[in-house]
Structure formats: structure tokens, C-alpha cells
Amino acid sequence: MDLSANSLILHSLLWLILVINFVLILPAAANTISADHDNLVYKQCSNQTSTNINLSHSSELSSLFEEFLIQSSHSKFYETSISNDHVGPVLGRFQCRNDLTQSECRNCMKNFPELSKHLCGYNIPVRIQLSGCYVHYQPDGIETSRVQLLHKTCSKYKVKKSRFEEVKDKAFAAVESGILSGNGFYETTYELIHVMAQCEESLGACDCGVCVSSAVQIAEEECKYSISGEAYLDSCFISYSYHGDEFGGYSFKDDKGIKGISSKSIAIILGGIAALLLGIAFCYFLRSCGKKKDDW
């Protein structure tokens, strides 16, 4: 085998090792809380297509977003009403997650003027939820249920162990209790399960408790065994995520591939393969060097 063939094999093995190392970090990456507050969670846009109404709303929305940005410098919740001579009043509000700093809140709110135009144009009503904040604006007079489900997601990774569900239920119970005395926001970690809930600031303690309990019920029913999930209602949200390997790893929803194998075992197996390939690559390198020396 000539030197060029050895070089090709060496490069191929190194690329394979890089791919395996990338695969090793995927389970951890799938289970990490993102620090990015600008991720789009969901959007709800009106299908209103009247050009005249849209042009009238454009000036209103520009004023609304300017006011939102000013208020976000010192407040994490704000609601107001604006109007002009062409259309009726438009009610608008924003809210940032309570664990964000005021600077992070303002930076989150800076996304909405361009984002709303890109996603929804000048139509109303509109609700856009980012991971760290949301805006909602609509014509005056529209009534909605405070516990109406707007969006939910459940991880495709699951821990099919009754013990996991028991711990998750206790984490949910903790957040249901804590939200009543947490000024509309509560965050905790219970045995490696991180859970967070927040209500619209204008909600009273009792209504907030009812809303969060409804969100918890949805998460319990819809996200059974999932290692993470979230449920956004009209006036509150709840999210949870599991971090660790206490319950023996997790499997894909389709019950194929890594079902029944812990994430720790997968890491050991793939790490062993990577070490073996690295050893083979090193042997080829030494062999190539020896051949080159003999040629001299």
C-alpha cells in the first residue's frame, strides 16, 4: 500500500472519529436548557387580508412596539391600548420571563418589530412567543379563555419508568404549590427535573393557580414519559426538563435504536470505538513513516 493510500485511510478514520464524537454529545445537547431567549416557540397570526386595514394597522403597530421597547427598560409586563382615526382601539401587551434581567428583557423585545412584520405582516390579532418573552395584540372586544391551550411540545426522548413519572409528578406538585406564593413565577429543580411556571402578571393568585394546574394537567397527559415538555396557555405556561441518568437513560419515541440502553452505556461504547479507530489511525501513521524511511 503506497503512502497516498495510507494518507487517504488516515484522513477517513479521523473524519469518522470526529463524527462519533459529535454523536456522543447529541443526547446531552437534546437535554440542555437553552440560554438563548430569542428562540421562536410559536406564532399565531390572523388571516385578515384587507390592504386598507393592514396599512392603518402599520402605524398603530409601529407606535405599539416603540412603547413596548421603552417600557421593557424598566418593566417585564406591560399592557396598553392604542387607536387612530381609521380603525378601533388595539389592545397590546408584552411579558418577559421573570428570571430574565431587565437588560435581557429589553433585548428580547427588540426582536418583535421586524419579527412580527416577517411572520404576520400588519394583520391582527397576533401572538408571538419567544423563549424569553412574548407580545400579543388584538382588536378591542375579543374575549378569550385564560386557560385556552395555545401551544405544547413534548420531547421525542422518553424514560419509560414509573419512578420517573412519580418524580415528575412531585416536581409538578411543587410548582403548583409554589406558584401561589411566588408572585406569578416559580422555578425549581426536584431530583434532576427542572420545572418552571409563569402567569400573566395581571392574573390574581387564585386564577394563576388554576391556570398553572390546567397547564400541568396537559403536560401530564400529553407528555407522559417525555424527558421535557412545555404547555402554553393564554395566561400562563409551564415547562420542565430532565437532566441526568438516574433512571437508566432514555429511548426514542419509536422504540427503535437505543431503547433499553442508557446514555452512559452509549457513551462508553462509542468512546471505545473512537479509541480503537484512533489506535488504527496511529498504526497506519507509524507504518507510513516506516515505509518512507525504508524508501530512503
Per-residue model confidence as pLDDT tens digits over 93-145: 999 999 999 999 999 999 999 999 999 998 889 999 999 999 999 988 788 88
Residue 23's pLDDT band (boundaries 50, 70, 90)?
Answer: very low
DSSP label at 181?
Answer: G
* CB atoms inside a 10 Å sphere around CB 154: 19
Helices (H) and strands (E) in the chain, counts: 7, 12
Q: Are 128 and 40 in contact (CB under 8 A)?
A: yes
| CA-based max dimension of the chain | 91
* SS3 (DSSP) at 220: helix
Q: Are 96 and 83 in contact (CB under 8 A)?
A: no
Place of cell 507504518: 287
pLDDT in tens, 30-83: 444 445 889 999 999 987 654 444 545 677 888 999 999 999 999 999 999 988
- C-alpha 29 chain-centroid distance: 12
Q: Are 258 and 252 in contact (CB under 8 A)?
A: yes
Beta strands in 16-86 (DSSP E): 40-45, 77-82
* SS3 (DSSP) at 139: strand
pLDDT of residue 287: 63
The region of weakest confidence among 14-28, 138-152, 176-190, 195-209 is 14-28
Mean pLDDT for 2-30 is: 52
User: How many degrees, rounded to 5, is the angle at CA 183 between CA 181 and CA 185?
Assistant: 100
- C-alpha 284 chain-centroid distance: 45
Residue 94's H or E segment, with its range, is strand 90-96
Please state, in angstroms and rounded to a whole number, the distance separating the CA atoms of residues 104 and 108.
6
